[in-house]
Amino acid sequence: MAATTHHHNPDVNYINEFKGIGSWLTSLDHKRIGLMYMISVLTFFLFGGIAALGIRLELFSPGQTVMTADQYNQFMTYHGAIMVFMVIVPGIPAILGNFFLPIHVGAKDVAFPRLNLLSWYVFMVGALMGIATLFMHKVDTGWTFYTPYSIKTSGAATMMVVAAFIMGMSSILTGLNFIATVHKLRCPGMTMYRMPLFVWAIYSTAILQLLATPVLGITLLLLAAERILGVGIFDPALGGDPVLFQHFFWFYSHPAVYIMILPAMGVVSELIAAFSRKTIFGYTAIAYSSLGIAAVSFFVWGHHMYVSGQSETAGIVFSFLTMLVGVPTAIKMFNWLATLYRGSISFQSPMLFALGFLFLFMIGGVTGIMLATLAVDVHFHDTYFVVAHFHYVMVGGTLMALMGGFYYWFPKMFGKMYNEGLARVTFVFIFIGFNVTFFPQFILGAMGMPRRYFDYIPAYESLNKISTVGSWLIGIGFLISLYVIIDGLLRGKKAPANPWGAKTLEWQVPSPPPHTNFHHDPVVTAGPYEYR
Amino acid sequence: MNEPKDVHHIVDYKILLKSGAALFALTFLTMIAFWNHHHLGAFAAPIAFLIAGVKAAIVMMFFMGLKYDSTMNRIIFGLGFFFLAVLMAFSALDIWTRVPVLGTI
Amino acid sequence: MSTVESHASHEHHFAHHFKSADHEFLTSKQGIWLFMVTEILMFGGLFVAYFIFHHIYPGMFAEGAKSLDWRMGFGNTLVLIFSSFTMALGIHQIQKGHNKKAVLSLALTILCGAIFMVVKYFEYTHKFHLGLYPGKYLDVAKVGAEHANLGMYFGFYYLMSGMHGLHVLIGMALIAWVLFRTMRGDFHSHYYTPVEGVGIFWHIIDLIWIFLFPLLYLVG
Amino acid sequence: MMWMNVARAQSLMPTRGTEVASQVSNLYSFLLIVSFIASAILIGGMIFFAWKYKRKTDNDKTPYISHSTALEFLWSFIPLVIFLGVFVWGWYVYHQMRDMPKDALEIHVVGKQWAWETQYKSGVKASNLVVAPIDTDVKLIMSSNDVIHSFYVPSFRIKQDVVPGRYTALWFKANKLGEFHIFCTEYCGTQHSGMIGTMKIVSREDYDRWLEEESKVGLLPLAERGAKVFQVKACASCHSVSDAVVKVGPSLWQRFGHEEETSSGEKVMFDENYIRESVLNPNAKIVKGFPSNVMPSFQGQLSEVEMAALIEYLKGLK
């Protein structure tokens, strides 16, 4: 199309070059596909968020309050399934990764643009199938689909499983595309060690998506076969082994945890360097620790299964390997801290989210070590301690980074500035609300309250009440964010090319970027964080 | 990334023919081993899979052209098998080392 | 997208984000290899489950394998290997510019795939006739099964060979597509990326069958 | 040690009922202290740097510090040593949990949707109740009737999934008298959160007395025996008996001798035969407004006498 014959008109960009909804739905432009992912993921986030508020509302008091036990189990299932498969896994890679990875490496697009668009359609088909089960007999298996419960339960579990399988295919296509882009489409001078750390993180994530997701696919297909044909592989009544299901499931789902958190780490590396105006400390160590985390994450899945009936030997091996994942994570934390040292730190809203990330991820990290410890995990396994831990990592970590990254790149994506004051208010609400919601859950877990409980003993009441109030604060925070976004889109001031004074490639092109990203083919001569 | 010098490597016709012939021969060998599996005993299965492994290697190297491809592509394809082995090894580790709890009954 | 394939000239216009046609070719090829990894891991998951349950229920698996006819599997193995050869040959011929010969090779490949599927069809209908259905549908009384969970073996059998058969069908469709494009004259010695990709996919199908054959038919 | 005691007091874990529980608490307290120190360094450092190096002017120059191999080695090596130490400690305690004592008192526990059934060697049965003597090695041999459950006693810091189709085990040696909670910690459906039982630790004499009393159930009047069956089979988790409140299934209070409307619209008399059928084949005639496939069948689980006792008990619910 008009790609190669671009006139350097400063008012023409990827948003207004082509017009009409059809030009979006058939667009091969990675930036537009990123925005399409953004709209869909944010919509699903709304669904998942409403389910979360419902869960907390029911748990405000013991006993049945606003819904029945069965309804609660459905809320819990949809909250988990939507947030994992439709929000956090595609979240940062498919939105921010799609938009910025090609620009970061100086490419005009991802390696396979048609595949990229296909992955969005596949994702939408899977997601809408998942949502459609809401109008059928609702699923109540929990997002983990543990057998034999998931075989026996009525409800549209088969359809949900197939939906997750389809979304997995989309995830594979995205990952495949990013790997090929990083390997093959770097511009002249862009060596692997001049790539921004965000790219390293997305690259590591892509490897995980590619290698882990197929196993989830076959596991879910086997589960569907189990429900339809009664094959008996995972059904103990037919001689199968339900613990094997857990092995297969976590072979994907543990790396998936890193699919969720690695991109967030990448975003935070960008934010900390940009808002400290300082080169990142230990670039190589951070880059390799991303790859290291990705590699080791395949060897640790059994730490979800210490009390599952897995053998003691396997538990010990998995605990040992899990401890090793802690090391690259610690390196990242200390290197970010060292980057702050003698920096020129500005507290604009993206940076607030980055610092908030460090705070929450620290807590998520150390509680992760506690859960990796065999004897302690026996007590904590499947209690609210685990719930609090992974929310600190996935919400406190990933969602904070997503919000920070979103504010950071908003001017680039839309060419408009947002209301900085209100953005800071959203941070205050989300950060405080988050801690009020989830910190009490650590204590509840230590006291022994199991997860996925519709009802609880009176001793747990006051902490549950605090937690529910916190969830309202988070809700308000996100409502304000929504206002900030809409307000910025409608009334925002025109954004300059580089509002933060950052050094990576995307800030060297106009806001918003032109259709082909660069007016002149870029040639890179230095690293991504040359603040001298 | 270590690219091959000739981008469009053409696998020689004779090599393809030899590979095909070798695959046919190995398939017959598999059957010969199968007919004699009473003599082979416990080795029957490993031998069958060893032959299958050789056949797979021939397909990968000559038909799929991995022998003439870039190192990166070889690493990528190898990674698939490596992580498959990881899945197998750890799942088996658990199931093989389970201790029955009903010793006394 | 600016990948406009030209019919008349022998020049391939590569997409705007690549430096050259070779750049596009190598990138596409890597993409295909990356995709093949997911195929290996997906089928591999089935293999792992098979091995584990084979270890737990050796007798039941032996009983299941006995009811399979090795002649069918053996014949199909030869057919599929031959098809892999003709596929590789087809690429070889396109690379050399012998498009007419390539059309013949590709057509032979599709024919082999069709023979494979016909044999599969007879195998399946025969099994159904005997009551050897997968999982809980297996007619234990009719079959006279010694092991109550024989359905698991046939669950594996139908899932593995069924998934493989599905890949054969997809492969045949893809080869038909590149065959059509070869006849149209889309490909030449410097542009044949789709043929190369479909070829690698077809070889993966062969690769998986090479392991499925001893696994299902021989080792019992 | 003072630190340890402070941490233990602040750990907010439930009462320690076994020696293993104390060891878990100690390890957890250690972890809390280490985590607190690590957080103080990192989060404290972050806040300090953020305050100290706040941007002053828009033209601030920052030094170009690319890396420091020594520092980076240090902050990967020190955490590694700590992590491995924690791993070994955790392994040591875990091994004690998993190493089954030889001559333990064995109690069978069966998890089912949604109750725990315990069976003692003398034939005594209980539901949602494990009675065990103090200072004695007790081994629970567990299995499940339907889906995966998980047997969890917070005060003992022990937990084990109860997997259908196989046996798993737990052991404990209580050193504290009293009643402790048993929770199900593996999601198992509607009443997952209702699968709460009691772990009752009593003296050796009380334990023997309890077993003795329970084994006399056979001499009780029929209706009382039926009440016992009702309790042992955990019918009460789904059916109320003292009022008309609807739990998972219909209330059984004052139903005997009345007509029920079934989901297919026909009327059926709530009599001996209907009770019998509903216990053995629950889905045959579902009361209107209730889902099918929820109640498990008790086929083969009740003797004729027990069935008669149950019917007699339901007759008397007024």
Tell me which chain B residue has its CA closest to the CA of residue D170.
B101
Cα dist. C178→C171, C191, C196, C202, D70 in Å? 11, 12, 10, 12, 58
Query: How confident is the model at residue D73, as a pLDDT?
Result: 92
For residue C3, tell me if it sits in a domain. Answer: no
How close is the nearest chain A Cα to the Cα of B105, in Å?
19
What confidence tens digit (pLDDT) does each residue in A333-359 have? 999 999 999 999 999 999 999 999 999
Cα dist. C31→A111, A173, C170, D243, D315 in Å? 8, 10, 18, 67, 73
For A:176-235, CB contacts with C below 8 A are: 176-177, 179-180, 183-185, 210-211, 213-215, 217-219, 221-222, 225-226, 229-233
Residue B5 has pLDDT above 70, yes or no: no
Whether B30 and C214 lie within 8 Å, measured CB to CB = yes
Verify that B60 and B16 share a domain, yes or no: yes
Residue B100 has pLDDT above 80, yes or no: no
DSSP assignment of D277-297, as one string? HHHHSTTSSPBTTS-SS-SPP
Verify that B52 and B75 share a domain, yes or no: no
Query: How confident is the model at residue B104, as a pLDDT?
Result: 43
For residue B47, tell me if it sits in a domain. Answer: yes
How close is the nearest chain A Cα to the Cα of B79, in Å?
8
Chain C CB contacts of A217 below 8 Å: 42, 45
Cα dist. A240→C47, C149, D109 in Å? 15, 9, 22
CATH of domain D2-57+64-98: 1.10.287.90
Query: How many domains, in total, are found in chain C?
Result: 1
For residue B6, tell me if it sits in a domain. Answer: no
Verify that B29 and B55 share a domain, yes or no: yes
Is C74 within 8 Å of chain B by CB? Answer: yes
Compute the average pLDDT of residues B21-36: 91
Q: Are A245 and A288 within 8 A, CB to CB?
A: no
Whether A108 and C38 lie within 8 Å, measured CB to CB = no
For residue C5, tell me if it sits in a domain. Answer: no
For residue B46, tell me if it sits in a domain. Answer: yes
How close is the nearest chain A Cα to the Cα of D147, in Å?
5
Query: How confident is the model at residue D214, as a pLDDT?
Result: 82
Q: State the CB neighbour count (10 A cutoff) for residue C114.
A: 15
SS3 sequence of A328-375: HHHHHHHHHHHHHCCCCECCCHHHHHHHHHHHHHHHHHHHHHHHHCHH
Verify that B43 and B87 share a domain, yes or no: no
C164-171, long-range: CB within 8 Å, 24+ apart, which pairs? C164/C43, C164/C205, C164/C208, C164/C209, C164/C212, C165/C117, C165/C120, C167/C39, C167/C204, C167/C205, C167/C208, C168/C113, C168/C116, C168/C117, C168/C205, C169/C113, C169/C117, C171/C113, C171/C198, C171/C201, C171/C202, C171/C205
For D220-315, the fitting CATH number among 3.30.1330.10, 3.40.190.10, 3.40.350.10, 1.10.760.10 is 1.10.760.10
For residue A517, tell me if it sits in a domain. Answer: no
Chain C CB contacts of B7 below 8 Å: 22, 25-26
Query: How confident is the model at residue C2, as a pLDDT?
Result: 35
For residue A490, tell me if it sits in a domain. Answer: yes
Query: How confident is the model at residue A474, as a pLDDT?
Result: 95
- State the pLDDT confidence band at B96, using cuts at 50, 70 and 90: confident
For residue B57, tell me if it sits in a domain. Answer: yes
Residue A475 has pLDDT above 50, yes or no: yes
For D:35-54, CB contacts with A below 8 A are: 35, 38-39, 42-43, 45-46, 49-50, 53-54
What confidence tens digit (pLDDT) does each residue in D244-273 have? 878 888 888 888 888 888 888 888 888 888
Verify that B81 and B52 share a domain, yes or no: no
Instruction: Pick A302's closest partner by Cβ from B79, B90, B96.
Output: B90
Q: Are D42 and A362 within 8 A, CB to CB?
A: yes
Neighbouring chains to A with at least 3 Cβ pairs closer than 8 Å? B, C, D
List per-block mean pLDDT (blocks of 10 residues) for chain C, which spans 220 residues. Answer: 39 81 91 94 93 90 87 92 94 91 95 95 91 85 83 92 95 95 89 93 95 85
Compute the average pLDDT of residues D45-56: 93
Residue D157 has pLDDT above 90, yes or no: yes
What confidence tens digit (pLDDT) does each residue in A456-465 have? 998 899 999 9
Whether C33 and B23 lie within 8 Å, measured CB to CB = no
Compute the average pLDDT of residues A83-106: 95
CATH no. for residue C64? 1.20.120.80
Size (chain B), residues: 105
pTM of the entire predicted model: 0.90
What confidence tens digit (pLDDT) does each residue in A280-310 have? 999 999 999 999 999 999 999 999 999 998 9
For residue C13, tell me if it sits in a domain. Answer: no
Instruction: Pick C92's closest partner by Cβ from B11, B23, B45.
Output: B11
Verify that B53 and B15 share a domain, yes or no: yes
Q: Scanning the structure block, which residue is given the tokens 């046919």?
A: B24
What is the 8-class DSSP label of residue A96? I
Q: Are A405 and A349 within 8 A, CB to CB?
A: no
Verify that B15 and B58 share a domain, yes or no: yes
For residue C10, tell me if it sits in a domain. Answer: no
Give the CA angle between residues A195, A16, A22 to the nearest 5°.
100
Round to whole Å and give the CA distance between D226 and D239.
15
Neighbouring chains to D with at least 3 Cβ pairs closer than 8 Å? A, B
Mutate to test the interface with C, among A172, A178, A184, A231 (most CBs of C within 10 A): A231
Query: How confident is the model at residue C9, as a pLDDT?
Result: 42
Chain C CB contacts of A1 below 8 Å: 1-2
CA A327, distance to chain mean position in Å, is: 21
Q: Which domain covers residue A199, as residue numbers?
A: 21-508
Whether B94 and A302 lie within 8 Å, measured CB to CB = yes
Is D187 within 8 Å of chain A by CB? Answer: yes
Query: How confident is the model at residue C5, as a pLDDT?
Result: 40
Query: How many domains, in total, are found in chain A?
Result: 1
- State the pLDDT confidence band at A74, using cuts at 50, 70 and 90: very high
Q: Which domain covers residue B36, as residue numbers?
A: 11-64
Query: How many domains, in total, are found in chain B?
Result: 2
Compute the average pLDDT of residues B27-52: 85
Chain D CB contacts of A73 below 8 Å: 187, 189-190, 192
D158-162 β-sheet, strand order = D129-133, D197-202, D178-184, D149-153, D158-162
Is B93 within 8 Å of chain A by CB? Answer: yes
Chain A CB contacts of D159 below 8 Å: 307, 378-379, 381-382
- State the pLDDT confidence band at A30, using cuts at 50, 70 and 90: very high
Could you report the predicted ipTM of this complex, rounded to two decimals? Answer: 0.89
Chain A CB contacts of D12 below 8 Å: 443, 446-447
What is the architecture, at CATH level 2, of domain D105-216? Sandwich (2.60)
Round to whole Å and give the CA distance between D155 and D14.
5
Round to whole Å and give the CA distance between C2 and C19.
13
For residue A476, tell me if it sits in a domain. Answer: yes
Q: Higher confidence at residue A31 or residue B8?
A: A31
Query: How confident is the model at residue B2, as a pLDDT?
Result: 45
Q: Which domain covers residue C112, as residue numbers?
A: 21-218
Round to whole Å and give the CA distance between A262 and A212.
15
Q: How many CA atoms lie within 13 A of D88 on its CB side?
A: 5
Chain B CB contacts of D168 below 8 Å: 101
Percent of chain D at pLDDT exceeding 70: 96
Whether A238 and C151 lie within 8 Å, measured CB to CB = yes
Compute the average pLDDT of residues A154-164: 90
Chain B CB contacts of C68 below 8 Å: none
Compute the average pLDDT of residues A307-319: 92
For residue A207, tell me if it sits in a domain. Answer: yes
Whether B101 and D167 lie within 8 Å, measured CB to CB = yes
Is C139 within 8 Å of chain A by CB? Answer: no
Q: Quote the crossing angle between the two packed helices C193-213 and C70-95, to the nearest 10°.
A: 160
Q: Structural domain boundaries of chain D?
A: 2-57+64-98, 105-216, 220-315
Query: How confident is the model at residue D155, as a pLDDT?
Result: 93
Calculate the average pLDDT of chain A: 92
What confidence tens digit (pLDDT) does each residue in C145-204 have? 788 888 899 999 999 999 999 999 999 999 999 999 999 988 988 889 999 999 999 999
For B:44-83, CB contacts with D below 8 A are: none
What is the 8-class DSSP label of residue D244? -
Chains D and C in direct contact, meaning 3 or more beta-carbon pairs closer than 8 angstroms? no
Round to whole Å and give the CA distance between B94 and A302.
9
Whether D91 and A330 lie within 8 Å, measured CB to CB = no
Whether D87 and A309 lie within 8 Å, measured CB to CB = no
How close is the nearest chain B Cα to the Cα of D139, in Å?
10
Is B83 within 8 Å of chain A by CB? Answer: yes
CATH no. for residue A117? 1.20.210.10
Residue A453 has pLDDT above 80, yes or no: yes
Residue D97 has pLDDT above 80, yes or no: yes
Residue A2 has pLDDT above 60, yes or no: no
For residue A226, tell me if it sits in a domain. Answer: yes
Is A393 within 8 Å of chain C by CB? Answer: no
Compute the average pLDDT of residues A319-331: 93
How close is the nearest chain B Cα to the Cα of A186, in Å?
11
Query: How confident is the model at residue D28, as a pLDDT?
Result: 93
